[in-house]
Structures are given as C-alpha cells and as structure tokens.
Amino acid sequence: MPIKIDNVSVDMAANLSNAIDTVNLPRHRWYYYKEGFSPNLVNKAIDELHLGSDDLILDPFNGSGTVTLTSAIRGIPSVGVEVNPFTAFIARTKANNVEAKELEVYSKSLIEAIKKDTLSTSRWIGISTFTEHESLKKWLFNRPVADAYERGFQFLENVDSVQIKDILKLALVSSLMANANARRDGKCFKYKKGWENNGYDRESFVESLSDRLKICLEDVKTTHVESLPLIVCEDSRSFLKKDDVNTYSLCITSPPYLNTFDYTDIYRPELFMGGFIPNNEALYQLRLNTVRSHVQALWPTPTEQNFGPDYTSVMEYLLSHQEKLMCKRIPLMVQAYFEDMKDILDSIFKKMRDGGQVWIVVSTSAYAGMEIPVDTIIGHIGTVAGFTLKGIEKLRDIRKRKTKNSGNIDFLRESLIKLVKK
C-alpha cells in the first residue's frame, strides 16, 4: 500500500522546521546556522513523549546542536553526533556553563587586545580567497578584519579555561563572518552588493565582537545548562555501530537532504580559519565521511537497492532520463544516500528502547524534472529496519531554486517522519 502524507495534523504557524527562531533564543543565538532546525520541534517531541531526566535523546546529525541544547536546558541527557568539527564545536560551545564574572573579564581583555594591536598580520594572506591579496579580484575578508581576527585568535592562547576559550573563539568566528564581503547563498557564497566599499574594518569587527560577547554573557547568566550533552565529532554511520547504549527514548534528527549540498564546502572559511582542519587533504577526507548526499567526493559505490516501490520508480525514471541530469553520478548518489539512511536506521533500531520514537525531518528533492519522495522512501526503509511507521506529516512547502534541469517543479515538500519501536 502506498505511504500517505498527512497534511493536516501539523500546525504550520508553530514554525517547526527552520532555524529562524534560534536568532532570538538564549545560547541558540550564539551562531546562526542556516541549516539548523527548530527548537520548537524538539520541545514538541519532548512534551508529547513526556520525557524527563531519566530519558536519553539522540541526534545522529546534530549540526549546530539544536537538539542537544534544547534537551540540555530542559535537564534531559542527550548525545549529538556530528561529523563536521566546526559544527560540532558550535554545538559543544553553546552548552558550556562558565562563571559569568570570568567570561566578563576575559571578554574585556580580548576587546582591549584587539583595539590596541596594530601589528598582527593575518596568516591567511595568499591562501584561497580568504583575504585581500594582489593576485585576487575578490576576497572574503578585508585585511583590517582578517588582521583583527588574527589578534583575537592569538589572544586565545592566554586563556586557561577551555570552556571560556571556546565561547570567545565562537564569538570571534561569528564576528569574522558578520564582516565578510559575501554571504552564503544556497551552495555558494554570493558577494554583497557594493562590497568593495562596504567599509568593514577593525572597528566594525570589534563592534560585532562586543555585541556577541555581551549576548553570551547575558545568556550565561540567565540560561543554565541543566544536563551537559555528550557531543561526539564523528561519522554517525561508524559511531552508532560501536556505541553500546541501547536505551534511547527519542532520536530526533534532520539528516543532510538529498540535494547535492556539501556542508564542508560552504563552511570552508570557518573550518580553515577557525583551525578545525589543516589542509585540503583533510577537507577531502571530511567529505568522504559525510553522508553521500553530494557528488563532491569519490565515495564508495553503493551495492544495495532494495528500498521499496517508490525508490524503484524513481530509479527507473532517473536511469531513463540521464540526459536531463546535471551530473551522471546522480543516480548513484541517490542509491548511496538511501543506503546510508538504511545503515543509520538499522543501527538506531538497535539503540532505541521499546516504545522509543524516531522523528526525522527531511525534504523531497528533484532531479531531471522528477520529485523524489525522500520521506516515503525513508519511511519504508524504517519499517524494514523493524520500526512501525506512525505517520509522515507535511511541515511546509519549500520553494525550489530554478536550475536548467529542474523542470516544472516549483516547491519541495518538507516533512516529519515518525517511527516507533514497538
């Protein structure tokens, strides 16, 4: 029987599927992660399942840590697995409890150190397009911004407390990005209009940093983290196989969407300039460890293909319309993606306690003019793993970016898949 999509049970106004609410919420607002999702959804799941301090929550694609932070503030233990060291760092840092007084003292000294310094030189000159150089027509950061950031980075060496150091570092990276000449736009960076004359300099950087540190201080004072989450920076496909916990009450997550988006590419400035990866080889290795939802690395060829009737029709269509695909590896990527989802769901089934639920937010995708029902295919894979499919609820329509291969599809469906271990 085909899996049906439930259109009515979700309150669309409750904003359950995007990160927009996080910009005003204590601690969540320390770094805006566009691909994050809504704390409202995590709260809804916790309330619906009546979870408390004896329960354990898992997010195998934890990103900037919306799930772990929301659970932590409510005193519920949680584990977040995230492969990208920069995003895992955001998740860990947002949950740091520190002495407000100590943070205040270090914040003041950091600002003073940057204001006074005129000698530091960015170590990123001539590397990629990170900062101004005679060989470049465009660069992400003006020299005064990159130099001020460098001074801030050097200051971190004097900070003994790891937790304080991480908060200062997150504020530095966030201020750097606030003073960038380009902004993230889908899969790439788009230069801001008139960026050459935008005036980003040491003063604007210090202003951004002061604002951010003020917010961190305010949140540290008002919002205590009741239960420290465990943040693991690893490929969840391998982590879940070796982790021997089997008492999760809830797994709530949003995996990478099947949209050829490469998170490691779009977060390159933070990964390199934040000191999270040393070189391009390490970046490539990181790509190989991400879920196969992009074609940016030569990942292992998938072998499984038994993912249900919706998958079979998708594959038949894609293979017979290869000339309309932007890249000939797309059918293989689609197969690899569902193989990864199967791998993850098989592991998660073993980790859940009886009665435990899995909530997955995902969107459909489109290739060669066909909408791929990622939600129903994952729903099917979940049942083969042993779960009962409780339902698939539509959260919203997402406007599809137009490309020359996208055909007539204007919107994609974002939905919530609910599975139960009975």
Which residues make up the interface to ligand SAM (CB under 6 A)? 33, 35-37, 61, 63-64, 66, 81-84, 87, 235-237, 254-256, 263, 289-291
CA distance 140 to 176: 10
Shortest Cβ distance from residue 70 to ligand SAM (Å)? Answer: 9
Query: Any idea which residue has 């934890």 for tokens?
Result: 62
Tell me the two tokens of residue 121: 């030189």
Shortest Cβ distance from residue 86 to ligand SAM (Å)? Answer: 9
Give CA angle at 264 (150, 397), nearest 5°: 120
What sign does the CA torsion over 45, 49, 50, 55 have? negative
Cα end-to-end span (Å), the chain: 21
Closest by CA position to 48, among listed 79, 22, 11: 11
Cβ proximity to ligand SAM, 147 vs 340, nearer residue:
340
Cβ proximity to ligand SAM, 31 vs 106, nearer residue:
31
Collapsing DSSP to helix, strand or coil, 323 comes out as helix
Instruction: For residue 294, count other CB atoms closer than 10 A to its CB.
Output: 22
Shortest Cβ distance from residue 285 to ligand SAM (Å)? Answer: 12
Tell me the two tokens of residue 212: 């951010």
Shortest Cβ distance from residue 42 to ligand SAM (Å)? Answer: 9
Strand order in the sheet with 411-420: 230-232, 78-81, 57-59, 248-253, 352-363, 411-420, 388-399
What sign does the CA torsion over 314, 318, 320, 324 have? positive
Shortest Cβ distance from residue 166 to ligand SAM (Å)? Answer: 17
Shortest Cβ distance from residue 69 to ligand SAM (Å)? Answer: 9
CA distance 93 to 60: 18
Contact 153, 209 (CB under 8 A): no
Q: What secondary structure does DSSP assign to 147-192, as a single string?
A: HHHHHHHHHGGG---HHHHHHHHHHHHHHHHHT-SEEEETTEEEEP
Cβ proximity to ligand SAM, 87 vs 357, nearer residue:
87
Cβ proximity to ligand SAM, 64 vs 96, nearer residue:
64
Cβ proximity to ligand SAM, 294 vs 394, nearer residue:
294
Shortest Cβ distance from residue 300 to ligand SAM (Å)? Answer: 13
Closest by CA position to 381, among listed 354, 329, 422, 417: 417
Shortest Cβ distance from residue 3 to ligand SAM (Å)? Answer: 22
Cβ proximity to ligand SAM, 20 vs 105, nearer residue:
20
Residue 266 to residues 84, 131, 296, 329, 411, Cα–Cα distance (Å): 12, 17, 12, 21, 23
Cβ proximity to ligand SAM, 22 vs 175, nearer residue:
22
Cβ proximity to ligand SAM, 255 vs 356, nearer residue:
255
Tell me the two tokens of residue 331: 């059918």
Cβ proximity to ligand SAM, 64 vs 357, nearer residue:
64
Amino acid at 276: F
What's phi and psi for 47, nearest 5 deg? -70, -45
Give CA angle at 347 (341, 352), nearest 5°: 115
Shortest Cβ distance from residue 242 to ligand SAM (Å)? Answer: 13
CA distance 56 to 98: 24
Cβ proximity to ligand SAM, 64 vs 131, nearer residue:
64
Shortest Cβ distance from residue 240 to ligand SAM (Å)? Answer: 9
Cβ proximity to ligand SAM, 180 vs 266, nearer residue:
266
In this chain, which residue has its C-beta nearest to ligand SAM? 63
Shortest Cβ distance from residue 352 to ligand SAM (Å)? Answer: 18
